[in-house]
Structure 1
């Protein structure tokens, strides 16, 4: 236990992203030790829960060292605190307009978020923006103060998520210690608490939403699902999966399915309402589209397509493929939705896991923290390939050097070979189990 705490302290205060050897060594040791502790102490809940909280609190006064996104969070939050809509301008436009003095530490924030982020409109939905605004109101002149506020929120969120994961595991008659595969996973602790990514808030709303759905309280489930979408848009991928579940459940029906969708979208709309304008729709849409047609990082299928493109036509095909892949993802999710009998909770959760997996395996960009969401869903299934992915995704940090960015494609290949290989193994094992 002390070794785990010491390594997290080193991770938080004595690590730079460009030192990949140190990063992967620490992460590997944390990964192995954490899962060994779960194996040995799975009945000692107080010990494991306390360890998870302590490991998160270690990061409390640390500036995130693996991602610059938090600078943009602070920027957006300080705009809202000043009564300014963050969706209507980019940080670069603010700096060029001469109004940058309205935002305290504006130059430091823009330099921290770097030119790529500063040149684009924000793509963070309103519920996330609410937390950024809280940090901006409480600490309008302190970057560290804003970081501490967001970090405390995310630690609280992880504890609530853990509680509801346990409730769901009990309801699904699964071993409750599996909750620690999420709560003590180094990826979750480092990327959410350490690097301040808000997938944790999205996961919390998603897990509680599913809990209420199992209790047949579909209106509350829809409201919470809407909040989850308003943290990150990703849960929209899951909406088609509910068709068979609502249709087949004894006390639920097609009318309630329509109601569920309606309440979900109404909740999302209401969260956007304070910011709503024609410019928001255009700017937000353009920003989201960039993730499919411009950005590329740690991809699997897309990198294979890109290589074929270079070999055959001699140039990067992201502009074309980035528009086609979302359609393929949608078709894949629809197949999972309508050709699987998602009429029970356990089957529905497996379908959710595969819907997310299809999405990320076909995405042009997969940052490590993206894997946290399907990892959370995998806790409620027999599939453990996401646990494998939560380790191998850290290979992607090898791309960041002191002065340059250079992806090590052999490590990307290794990452996905291990993940897809383990997925195929588990899938065949499950088929044999039911044959």
Structure 2
């Protein structure tokens, strides 16, 4: 024991400090206190970096502290997001035999057609925006909400704990398949810990109960199966990933050259059939209209932590007297078309004949989408970070650190963003991205040909 302490003294001290900082983050922080939030996050990020630097080959040590970091949040109420109230609400509806895609929470409250123990608490806890719109969470996500509600026994805390354990299990699955995939790609498998121990991942997923990690688990599992040439088995897993969060559907065209035309047709067909099978239990004649209406809001109504959009908005409002509410609607429509074109460019202009090239194309495509998007919540970057570890690019890791600056918006009552802080965030991220493209490895100037 003494010899172990002598060999690992500093990493152990750093890990204990991280646990104490996570405890303060979970139980003694309100999101309006940006200074405390920033200082805690910065300290944890630095200490985590040092821990991985010292112990990157010590699998058991990093696994144990990663689990301990997450268990700190086990009974904590999320303090940076209200979304969990809607998650539990949808789960309670399914438990009571109600399709969550057919009624808004406000409609349910007005009709009084169904009641459950935590009904008023959940409705009051969720944002008014959430309460007046239909659910936008895909079917597998809904199933997980329902399981959490059943296991929670009608208690909000019980449901939170059940969801939290699901998220932790998904992160463990990512670590398991991620290390195997890294080995298959001839990369150092300790890179998986840059995801598993990343403070953004721990705080936004385990702490704030976002399900990007569950989506990423099935996505990484599918990539691992593809790397083992078990691509047929990968199709239902990939479909489940899409039905947790829709984002993986964006990458389907990028597989075209990797599989070849015939295999791609089979792969796409099976993935689509898998998605349809998961959707059938929730289908109704009005489902499509309700769902597309809500999803469309994310492209045409919201703005948070944007980069390119803020530049366009500043120019349009200042010099062309554009109305912000009209601008974001037009921008959202253009963004959808732009990202389709960008994905197709990466699908057809890059060779994508090796899996590492396919994953790199995915990183580029998703990064472009986020750089152009009008809304980039911190937990969105978790997905980008999660599969960027399988490439040579580290700018998503930089982003996982700097994106905490976006939370300044919650430090004032009117949620006004500080554009200077956002500028610092994106200058560092985009600057590091450009450095990786043309600075450290000149051959990456020709990434479309790789």
Aligned to 1:368, the other structure's residue is in SS state coil
Give the deviation of 1:314 after TM superposition. 3.2
Match of 1:314 in 2: 322
Aligned to 1:79, the other structure's residue is in SS state helix
**Rounded Cα–Cα distance in structure 2 between residues aligned with 1:130 and 1:122:** 13
Give the 5 Å matches for 1:81-100: 81-99=95-113
Matched, 1:29 2:37: no
**Rounded Cα–Cα distance in structure 1 between residues aligned with 2:295 and 2:236:** 23
Runs of 4+ aligned structure 1 residues displaced above 3 Å come to none
Do 2:438 and 2:444's aligned partners in 1 also have CA atoms closer than 8 Å? no
**Rounded Cα–Cα distance in structure 1 between residues aligned with 2:160 and 2:403:** 25
Do 1:168 and 1:211's aligned partners in 2 also have CA atoms closer than 8 Å? yes
Give the deviation of 1:87 after TM superposition. 0.3
Aligned to 1:78, the other structure's residue is in SS state helix
TM-score by length of 1: 0.96
Aligned to 2:374, the other structure's residue is in SS state coil
Aligned to 2:286, the other structure's residue is in SS state helix
Match of 2:88 in 1: 74
CA RMSD in angstroms, aligned pairs only: 1.2
Any unmatched runs of 5+ in structure 2?
Answer: 1-14, 446-450
Aligned to 1:216, the other structure's residue is in SS state coil
Match of 1:422 in 2: 432
Give the deviation of 1:412 after TM superposition. 1.1
**Rounded Cα–Cα distance in structure 1 between residues aligned with 2:423 and 2:436:** 20
Match of 2:130 in 1: 117
Give the deviation of 1:43 after TM superposition. 1.6
Match of 1:378 in 2: 388
Give the deviation of 1:306 after TM superposition. 1.4
Match of 1:59 in 2: 73
Give the 5 Å matches for 1:332-351: 332-351=342-361
Aligned with residue 145 of structure 1, among 141, 155, 158:
158
Match of 1:268 in 2: 275
Q: Deviations over 1:108-147 (max 9, x none)?
A: 1111112011111100001111110011112242110000
Q: Deviations over 1:389-415 (max 9, x none)?
A: 001111111001363311111111111
TM-score by length of 2: 0.93
Match of 1:259 in 2: 266
Match of 1:237 in 2: 250
Instruction: Work out the number of aligned pairs and report it.
Output: 428
Do 1:121 and 1:283's aligned partners in 2 also have CA atoms closer than 8 Å? yes
Do 1:77 and 1:133's aligned partners in 2 also have CA atoms closer than 8 Å? yes
Q: Deviations over 1:140-166 (max 9, x none)?
A: 421100000000111111101101110
**Rounded Cα–Cα distance in structure 2 between residues aligned with 1:141 and 1:346:** 45
Matched, 1:18 2:32: yes
Match of 2:176 in 1: 163
Do 2:242 and 2:249's aligned partners in 1 also have CA atoms closer than 8 Å? yes
Match of 2:237 in 1: 224
